[in-house]
Structure 1
Amino acid sequence: MDVQKENWQDDLELICDAARQAGEIALGFFGQSPEVWWKNEGRSPVSAADFAANDRLQSLLLKARPNYGWLSEETDDDAARLSCETLFVIDPIDGTRAFINGEKTWCVSVAVVHRGRPVAGVLVAPALEEEFSAVRNGPALKNGEPIAVSEPRSGEPLSIAAAEEMVKKLEQDFRRQIHRIRHVPSLAYRLAMVAEGRIDGTIVRRNSHDWDLVAADLILERAGGRLVDLDDRPLVYNREAVTHGMLCAGAEHALDRLMRHLVP
């Protein structure tokens, strides 16, 4: 069903409220050794907190927007979403490994996607008391205050977040020009760190999913940065396949350098 809108602010307010409620639910499980299961042949953990947060989001959001589609990491995929021009894309806890290990860098990620691109997005990190949000044509905010990506710093290394094997995909001489921070398991939170200028960029390994990326993609874009594939193209969401190839994200000055020295 087509949804004609110019102003998505009401949807942003809706998803922010829902994400806060889901975050409170998840926070109640945090540090309490919730039950954990393993999916994808034992490669990915999911906890009782993920399911509880997902249930709250689904009940709140689909009641408010019954004509929107739905895509969530913790809900069986339904091909009916492909006929929806507007849908919710959800990760009830992005960074589940961090969550179950007692690390605070996890967040609830909620976005509204319209015709393949995000138009409203929020990341709620309740253990850190942080909330990132953005709406199409509006500013990127952290706890209600505008944020922006980093500015170029002459002579200083680029600060990036990436797994060690991703750093090895950079040309060897260029690696001396970067400072790699400690790995952050939540991809959405890493992108938010780029959006607020705490780091300059990140490299994303293959097989990230729509729900890992989409809310943070919009927040980064509105903060002045970009998330792109290796052909320098923005991502399209709500395709039949919800996984992506290798990606780069960063402030423009960092993205240019990373893309030039990245060996796929």
Structure 2
Amino acid sequence: MRDLDDDDLAYYLATGIGDIVKGTRAGGLLRGRSLARVANEVAQNWTDEVLAVHRPDDGTLSEGVSDDLSRLEKSRVWIIDVIDGTKEFSTGRSDWSVHVALVVDGHPTVASVGLPDSGRVFRSDQVDHVDGPHSGTMVISRNNPPPGSRQVADAVGLEVRPMGSAGAKMLSVLLGDADVYLHAGGQDEWDQAAPVGVALAAGLHASRLDGSPIVFNKPDTHSPDVLICRPEFTEKILAAQAAQATRT
């Protein structure tokens, strides 16, 4: 059996998950909740089997899988979301993503984020640093826009654009289509680990909204907020967010 390093394994996991999930759409035989349920289940089963074969000693954390907290005893933990943006996927939108991250001692060291409908997978070991002109845009959640986000964007001189999954929003910053991704109101570790890993590898800033680092593989998987942005926007966004927080 082929011996894969962590970077290649993350990439092939993200690619394979994307192919499996897209395949469940075949012929339009399933739609809505049925489609989302089957796609999540089939892709997760395949993922669990791959990790059992290739990384049997590592811990795992995935959405929709019972968490027995045994991962807390592990230094290496795979944090995976087979469909980030289930609503977008199940309604035929393209702004959903696949998240695969290897977290070592709380920090994402290897990550791949796939945009299956675009046929692209971004991996932390091969991502270019972000440069070029600014877009003048801040992306936020379409379904759960952060309170005060438009005021923060106005303070920094950015337009607001709602989007789907966390991975899609992060990749919009990576690709130069947005300068800032800001979220408040709660996510889980599987929403953030892979996007944060790829973002940091690309030289982007990634933190909590108070500027503190994001730590993964905690007992409570809830992660209340995230900021991913081009480094030159960091101080302005954090200051504007802090000022907005004092008003609310």
Q: 1:22 aligns with which of 17, 21, 29?
A: 17
Shift of 1:210: 0.8
Inter-partner Cα distance in structure 1 for 2:181 and 2:123: 19
> Which residue in the other structure is 2:130 paired with?
149
1:58-207 residue pairs with structure 2 within 5 A?
58-135=48-125, 139-140=126-127, 146=128, 148-151=129-132, 153=134, 158-163=136-141, 165-166=145-146, 168-169=148-149, 171=151, 174-175=154-155, 177-181=157-161, 183-207=162-186
Residue type matched to 2:157 in 1? Q
The TM-score normalised by the length of structure 1 is 0.82
Q: Is the 8 A contact 2:75 2:105 kept in 1?
A: yes
Judged with a 3 Å threshold, the aligned counterparts in structure 2 of structure 1 residues 194 and 172 are, in CA distance, closer, same or farther, namely: closer
List alignment gaps of at least 5 residues for structure 2.
Answer: none
List alignment gaps of at least 5 residues for structure 1.
Answer: 1-8, 39-44, 141-145
Judged with a 3 Å threshold, the aligned counterparts in structure 2 of structure 1 residues 217 and 177 are, in CA distance, closer, same or farther, namely: same
Judged with a 3 Å threshold, the aligned counterparts in structure 2 of structure 1 residues 192 and 113 are, in CA distance, closer, same or farther, namely: same
Judged with a 3 Å threshold, the aligned counterparts in structure 2 of structure 1 residues 47 and 36 are, in CA distance, closer, same or farther, namely: farther
Equivalent position SS for 1:78: coil
Query: What is the aligned residue count?
Result: 237
Inter-partner Cα distance in structure 1 for 2:179 and 2:52: 36
> Which residue in the other structure is 1:226 paired with?
205
Name the % identity.
22
Judged with a 3 Å threshold, the aligned counterparts in structure 2 of structure 1 residues 237 and 176 are, in CA distance, closer, same or farther, namely: closer
* C-alpha distance after superposition, 1:157-186 (max 9, x if no partner): 7311014742634547935811112x2211
> Which residue in the other structure is 2:240 paired with?
261
Inter-partner Cα distance in structure 1 for 2:40 and 2:197: 23
Judged with a 3 Å threshold, the aligned counterparts in structure 2 of structure 1 residues 172 and 25 are, in CA distance, closer, same or farther, namely: closer
Q: State yes or no: 1:55 paired with 2:34.
A: no
